Chain A
Amino acid sequence: MALDRARPVGGPALLIFTITLLLLLCATSFTATATASAISGDDGHVVEGRVKVEVMRGKGFSKTANIKVIINAGEQVSFIRTDGSFSFEGVPGGTYLLEVAALGYFFPMVRVDVSSRLPGEIRASYIEGPRRISGSLVLEPLREENYYEIREPFSLMGLLKSPMGLMIGFMVICVFLLPMLMDSIDPEEMKRLQETQRANPSPISQFIQSRS
């Protein structure tokens, strides 16, 4: 196997890896302990938070009642109340990934560290970028997502740029410019050109002639 020639998978990724590691280190040094409320249960902790629903009004297909908060790819699923709050109970200590499923909005993935040594201590930070979540766990959509392409309003330029418009444009150019081109050629030059063409017929015209 040509292992020496194979480019290792880690190559460019390693660079990215180090950069993001540095970024993350910067981020975590800032991350103060978020004081999200946590009640120690008999078999785990409570992770409580809130989805900022007040900024998510107005989209037809996204109902607040249908927003879900998902831990670790579906290990636990929680629904949000009308005020946007949600809670996971019985969460053992460890690190979790928290995702919000809300149609029409993009929520960045959040990392939640539930401390098993210090009961009730929960830290949360966004995974992408150095943003930290201080105070209580409030999740805000990063952006609205528009799943549809917007129809461009009608414009003459757009019409001309369409294949049909290009065709018309090309025709117009042909009609008005080509005769001018022919006119600009010196009549003697033209004659010579025609003669040489007659003497050495191009393979294409030969082909056409042989066909006919």
Chain B
Amino acid sequence: MRHWIGCFVKGIRIFGEARGGWMVVAMASPRLLLLVVAVALFLSSPCHAIYEDQVGVRDWHQQYIGRVKHAVFQTQGAGRKRVVVATEENALASLNLRTGEIYWRHVFGATDSIDALEVSMGKYVITLSKGHIVRAWHLPDGALLWETRIHANLGFNLGLVKMPVDIDDDKINDLLVFSGSFLTAISGADGTLLWQVDAAASKNIFIEKVVLPTEESKAYGVGFYGINGLALVEIDLKTGDLSELKTAETAGILSTDHLHVTKDFAVALHSDAENLVVALINPSSESLTLVETPVRSLLTNPGTTLKLLSTKLEGAISLSSDDQTVILAVDSSSGKLSLVERLTGAVTVSDSLSVLDEKHATAMIEFSVEGNAQNVFNLRVHGTDFSDEIQKETVKLPSHRGLVQKVFLNAYVRTDRSHGFRALVVGEDDSLSLLQQGEVVWTREDGLASIVEATTAELPLERDGVSVAEVEHDLAEWLKGHIMKLKATLFLATPDELAAVQKARLNLADKTKPTRDHNGFRKLLLVLTKSGKISALHTGDGHVVWSLLVPSLRASYGGPAFVPRKLLQWQVPHQHALDENPVVLIIAQADPGYDVKSALSWVDAHKGTELQSVKLSFPVMRVVSIPLTDSSEQRLHLLIDNLRRGHLFPATEESLALFLKYKENAYFYEVDDADQKMHGYGMKDLVDPNLVDIKEGYVFETEKLWSIVFPSETEAITAVVTRRPDEVSHTQTKVLPNRDVLFKYLNKNLVFVATVTPKNKDVVGTANPEDSTLVAYLIDTVSGRILHRISHPNMQGPVHAVVSENWVVYHYFNLRQRRYEMSVLEIYDQSRLPDKGVVQLMLGQHNSSVPISSYSPINLEVKGQSYYFTFTLKSMAVTSTAKGITAKQLLLGTVTDQVLALDKRLFDPRRTPTPTPAELEEGLLPLTDSIPINPQSYLTHSYQVEGLRGMLTIPARLESTSLVFAYGLDLFYTHTAPSKIYDSLTEDFSYALLLITIIALLVAIVVTYVLSERRELAEKWK
């Protein structure tokens, strides 16, 4: 069964290849040409869209929100239980409290960070963002109700308070916003301004916090008074009138980092961390009373880094110092402080939660035992005065979640009317988990919203092969499935059968197998996130295969924290694919101020374990991947430090010997954004470890070979783009309809640089067209030679570009027309023209093996063309296939967070308004002034990849197919076949129809055989 299907596939494959080089075949016979044209036309219909019922067959989409910073529970009432969260990625979302699913989500603009979040009246979500925009959202469906802009002093403490009064009598509680000196009351119904006061102007106070006492229609604003005092002002919530200012001063200078304010008292810390100052808020007293307590009287060893934590506790304050956390209870009448808890290690304290009228509960999560796979935490919930423990649980979290960073507490009423507590915790990996009764109810992998870099790894090979029969169950079942499919295509199936077919195609059993497949569709996507976690996602359905919070990148006490920067392929086993696993290298940069400047970590891509790690005493400025591997197939890398010395990795004798041979060919370049220069460097000799202070490894000196100075008054570098180093191109030639041959200039060291007029570098729409010019350069990075320069007057950035094979496509803004444009440049090598002609090409050496030298004389022809383009772009990429035969597609990430796939054929400088028949036959499109966009060419179809930042294309083993992974806040993965799938049967191929055809043919053969026999007999009788 498999065999003849295989034969069929092979036949189609041959057709496909013929299509790749069909011009060559066409020489042979005009009739064959017709056939090939017919096949080519048959195979290349203009769009590559999918049918609606194919959603989810090859693609998947995951939605994330990022690291949570504010959370408000909405569990009262009969409605669905939710938690509303705001994140560091400027996302606001309503989550299902039972499952963690997103009900709705909004992602704010890049600068629109959310400062405060409240839920009012059980149905309005109020956000304060960017310091001065207040928005109200409808809780059930996330619709925007109103939006108000208020006055604000930026850089001050911001806050949003639900007022207990209703000023405008509309039965909806009003809101108070404080930002610096401004106090603003806005209507909860429509956001209209009710009153606004400038506390700094009238009372000379900058308000840090506003608290509501139990008494109605009154509030207190508390702030610092000068550098050594505290001030209190009473606010009439109805009118905004400020009563007399009360101030008090201390002897020392106060630390203005944080002021802890509750309704009874305010606490500040002296800047020398010696004394704590408690101010008692007593409405009856004439002045503000300050009580000073020396820290040493409470703590025997207060440590060196004592500071007040911003946790909102009632009746207590929390401080941290070195590796300990201290909780002090505050007596609200006398201002006396007393030690409640002193905890060492990783402890996280929640804000106080008001449970019943005057009672509060606070949760504390302590790290207790580090396990192999799981970490154990103690979750304790304390009552109002911290002396009693209401609830104590031990919780186990997987070790790749790290330590708990934040905890939000919520109470619920048990069936026996007692209070139970659940906690929402944010892990070190930015994940969000809900804990209840000692169990993890759900977890969201929200760290995946902040991917720094992504790469791929092959899955392990299938060991002692699972037989074909096992995959296809049994023949009858298989045939039944296909008959059902056939019925579906013939519109004969019942709805039940249709549903069964749809289910079967979505849950293809082999889609999510953890082994390599024949077509190369199943791979691991390795993603490195901002929190220093690396995860492997399966391309089949996007599930996480393994996760690792890289141990050597975690901040340790007394050491720096590391920011992950790069993810590189270190070891890709080919010969030892069965017994060796692929390894990736993570490069991270240390926080400034430490001796350690960067860290390297090697991670096994199959097991998800850290193999080795190194801390480096130099910062890694650039990484040069050398196209050499040592005997264990580890790729050689040169890490360039800030002194432009190259450090060779792996630091072994063997790799040194290999590199010494290659040294002459190792080059790198750097772009100096500040000075508008580019420099190229080559390798010099090994540095003698005795002369310079280098303890280990092999270090090479470099020398500057060339520099390009751009005129800094008129040109500022805005985009630098290179070809991807692993790109393969099948042919070096392009055959024109008149049988002429063009030679592509395939230079691996080509870099595209775009400069714009420095004024208004990346701001669209404000500059004057006359004095803006965009200049595009093509530069060889080995010789520093400018291969081509083209100037576009009246154009402006931002520039997005992609370089592939011998062409560049770039996107920029036309200031005069006020619209976007895209240009293509194709580079051809004229110096190789003498050996032209297809026959010579076919008979001669396969000349794609002839290397191009950067130093050989060049005679280039650069063809270019420009088109208008409809959308603003966020990012650009190009498809890549295994052998580079298949045509290319440009992948464009639009401002609407969709991914558009456009054929490279649309960007061809040979397009003319009236192409000749020969050119049309070749597939050249007539020139249009703008690039036509077909909605079916959106790869993301009805999804959005919210916050799109990058796209990764991966070649499948099947030549026609390229895998696409787009990431931002959301993740999206799909397959794309730029020239349609010509080398395998499509997923909806009807085997049943094939069988029926074969049977029909067999019957026809038998019938005709019988007929011919009869006729022959009849002739013989004649």
A: which residues have CB within 8 A of B?
1-2, 5-13, 16-17, 19-21, 24, 41, 61, 63-66, 70, 72-82, 87, 89-90, 94-97, 99, 101-104, 106, 108-109, 111, 127-128, 145-151, 153-154, 162, 164, 167-168, 171-172, 175
B105 CB to nearest A CB, Å = 9
Q: Please give me the residue from chain A that is nearest to B54 by CB atom.
A: A148
Question: Could you name 10 residue pairs across A and B whose Cβ atoms are closer than 8 Å?
Answer: A1-B859, A5-B861, A9-B790, A13-B821, A65-B143, A70-B872, A73-B798, A102-B896, A168-B997, A172-B1004
Q: Which of B346-390 contact A (CB under 8 A)?
A: none
Q: Which of B777-791 contact A (CB under 8 A)?
A: 787-788, 790
CA distance A24 to B912 in the complex (A): 24
* Beta-carbon contact of B872 and A99 below 8 Å: yes
Q: Which residues in A have their C-beta under 8 angstroms from that of B765?
A: 72, 94-97, 111
| A13 interface neighbour in B110, B819, B867, B912, Cβ under 8 Å | B867
CA distance A5 to B609 in the complex (A): 57
* Beta-carbon contact of B942 and A147 below 8 Å: yes
Q: Which residues in A have their C-beta under 8 angstroms from that of B994?
A: 164
| B872 interface neighbour in A97, A149, A153, Cβ under 8 Å | A97
Q: Does B297 contact A (CB under 8 A)?
A: no
CA distance A195 to B606 in the complex (A): 70
* Beta-carbon contact of A81 and B868 below 8 Å: no
Q: Which of B806-833 contact A (CB under 8 A)?
A: 816-819, 821, 823, 825, 830
Q: Does B542 contact A (CB under 8 A)?
A: no
B587 CB to nearest A CB, Å = 29
Q: Which of B867-909 contact A (CB under 8 A)?
A: 867-868, 870-872, 874, 895-898, 909
CA distance A78 to B144 in the complex (A): 10
Interface residues of chain A: helix, strand, loop or mixed (majority): mixed
CA distance A102 to B143 in the complex (A): 14
B756 CB to nearest A CB, Å = 15
* Beta-carbon contact of A6 and B863 below 8 Å: yes
Q: Which of B753-794 contact A (CB under 8 A)?
A: 763-766, 787-788, 790, 792
Q: Which of B828-874 contact A (CB under 8 A)?
A: 830, 858-868, 870-872, 874
CA distance A153 to B138 in the complex (A): 43
* Beta-carbon contact of A101 and B109 below 8 Å: no
Q: Which residues in A have their C-beta under 8 angstroms from that of B942?
A: 61, 103-104, 147-148
* Beta-carbon contact of A101 and B935 below 8 Å: no
Most chain A Cβ neighbours within 10 Å, of B825, B859, B942, B1004:
B942
A69 CB to nearest B CB, Å = 11
Q: Does B673 contact A (CB under 8 A)?
A: no
B: which residues have CB within 8 A of A?
47, 49-53, 55, 104, 106, 108-110, 112, 133, 135, 138, 141-147, 149, 489-491, 763-766, 787-788, 790, 792, 798, 816-819, 821, 823, 825, 830, 858-868, 870-872, 874, 895-898, 909, 912-913, 927, 929-930, 935-936, 938, 941-942, 944, 993-994, 997, 1000-1001, 1004, 1008
CA distance A78 to B135 in the complex (A): 11
Q: Which residues in B have their C-beta under 8 angstroms from that of A13?
A: 821, 865-867, 929
Q: Which residues in B have their C-beta under 8 angstroms from that of A127?
A: 817-819
CA distance A196 to B825 in the complex (A): 58
| In the complex with contacts A79-B144, A103-B944, A128-B870, A7-B864 CB distance below 8 A | yes
| B143 interface neighbour in A12, A64, A90, A148, Cβ under 8 Å | A64
A178 CB to nearest B CB, Å = 11
| A73 interface neighbour in B53, B106, B787, B872, Cβ under 8 Å | B872
* Beta-carbon contact of B47 and A149 below 8 Å: yes
* Beta-carbon contact of B818 and A148 below 8 Å: no
| In the complex with contacts A10-B866, A80-B144, A101-B897, A148-B817 CB distance below 8 A | no
A65 CB to nearest B CB, Å = 4
* Beta-carbon contact of A7 and B863 below 8 Å: yes
* Beta-carbon contact of B935 and A73 below 8 Å: no
B196 CB to nearest A CB, Å = 13
* Beta-carbon contact of B144 and A82 below 8 Å: yes
* Beta-carbon contact of A9 and B870 below 8 Å: no
CA distance A7 to B863 in the complex (A): 5
| A12 interface neighbour in B490, B913, B930, Cβ under 8 Å | B913
CA distance A172 to B1001 in the complex (A): 9
Q: Which residues in B have their C-beta under 8 angstroms from that of A63?
A: 141
Q: Please give me the residue from chain A that is nearest to B864 by CB atom.
A: A9
Q: Which residues in B have their C-beta under 8 angstroms from that of A97?
A: 764-765, 818, 872
| In the complex with contacts A81-B145, A89-B149, A72-B818 CB distance below 8 A | no
| In the complex with contacts A13-B866, A20-B817, A154-B490, A149-B143 CB distance below 8 A | no
| In the complex with contacts A73-B895, A81-B147, A104-B942, A167-B859 CB distance below 8 A | no
* Beta-carbon contact of A72 and B764 below 8 Å: yes
Q: Please give me the residue from chain B that is nearest to A148 by CB atom.
A: B52
Most chain A Cβ neighbours within 10 Å, of B110, B763, B870, B896:
B896
* Beta-carbon contact of A9 and B866 below 8 Å: yes
* Beta-carbon contact of B935 and A154 below 8 Å: no
B406 CB to nearest A CB, Å = 26
Q: Which residues in A have their C-beta under 8 angstroms from that of B913?
A: 12
* Beta-carbon contact of A164 and B993 below 8 Å: yes
CA distance A82 to B55 in the complex (A): 30
Q: Which residues in A have their C-beta under 8 angstroms from that of B927?
A: 12
Q: Which residues in B have their C-beta under 8 angstroms from that of A20?
A: 817, 868, 929
Query: Which 6 residue pairs are nearest across A and B when measured between Cβ atoms?
Result: A9-B864, A77-B109, A145-B935, A101-B896, A16-B929, A13-B866
* Beta-carbon contact of A82 and B489 below 8 Å: no
* Beta-carbon contact of A149 and B491 below 8 Å: no
CA distance A149 to B50 in the complex (A): 6
Q: Which residues in A have their C-beta under 8 angstroms from that of B936?
A: 146-149
* Beta-carbon contact of A17 and B50 below 8 Å: no
CA distance A173 to B897 in the complex (A): 53
Q: Please give me the residue from chain B that is nearest to A72 by CB atom.
A: B764
* Beta-carbon contact of A154 and B867 below 8 Å: no
| A74 interface neighbour in B110, B866, B867, B938, Cβ under 8 Å | B110
CA distance A78 to B107 in the complex (A): 10
Q: Which residues in A have their C-beta under 8 angstroms from that of B55?
A: 148
CA distance A156 to B263 in the complex (A): 80
Q: Which residues in A have their C-beta under 8 angstroms from that of B145?
A: 81-82
| In the complex with contacts A65-B144, A81-B147, A127-B819, A146-B935 CB distance below 8 A | yes
CA distance A170 to B143 in the complex (A): 60
* Beta-carbon contact of A109 and B143 below 8 Å: no
CA distance A13 to B928 in the complex (A): 10
CA distance A80 to B864 in the complex (A): 41
CA distance A151 to B819 in the complex (A): 36
CA distance A149 to B112 in the complex (A): 38
* Beta-carbon contact of A109 and B489 below 8 Å: no
Q: Please give me the residue from chain B that is nearest to A112 by CB atom.
A: B765
| In the complex with contacts A16-B868, A61-B942, A148-B50 CB distance below 8 A | yes
* Beta-carbon contact of A149 and B144 below 8 Å: no
* Beta-carbon contact of A149 and B866 below 8 Å: no
Q: Which residues in A have their C-beta under 8 angstroms from that of B144?
A: 65, 79-82
Q: Which residues in B have their C-beta under 8 angstroms from that of A75?
A: 109, 763-764
Q: Please give me the residue from chain B that is nearest to A20 by CB atom.
A: B817
Q: Please give me the residue from chain B that is nearest to A46 by CB atom.
A: B149
* Beta-carbon contact of A147 and B763 below 8 Å: no
* Beta-carbon contact of A101 and B895 below 8 Å: yes
| In the complex with contacts A76-B109, A79-B106, A167-B997, A99-B896 CB distance below 8 A | yes
A59 CB to nearest B CB, Å = 9
Q: Which residues in A have their C-beta under 8 angstroms from that of B861?
A: 2, 5-6
* Beta-carbon contact of B859 and A149 below 8 Å: no
Q: Please give me the residue from chain B that is nearest to A73 by CB atom.
A: B872
| In the complex with contacts A97-B872, A148-B51, A149-B47, A82-B143 CB distance below 8 A | yes
Most chain B Cβ neighbours within 10 Å, of A77, A80, A99:
A77
A113 CB to nearest B CB, Å = 9
Q: Please give me the residue from chain A that is nearest to B147 by CB atom.
A: A87
Q: Please give me the residue from chain B that is nearest to A93 by CB atom.
A: B766
| In the complex with contacts A16-B868, A80-B144, A109-B766 CB distance below 8 A | no
* Beta-carbon contact of B817 and A154 below 8 Å: no
* Beta-carbon contact of B146 and A81 below 8 Å: yes
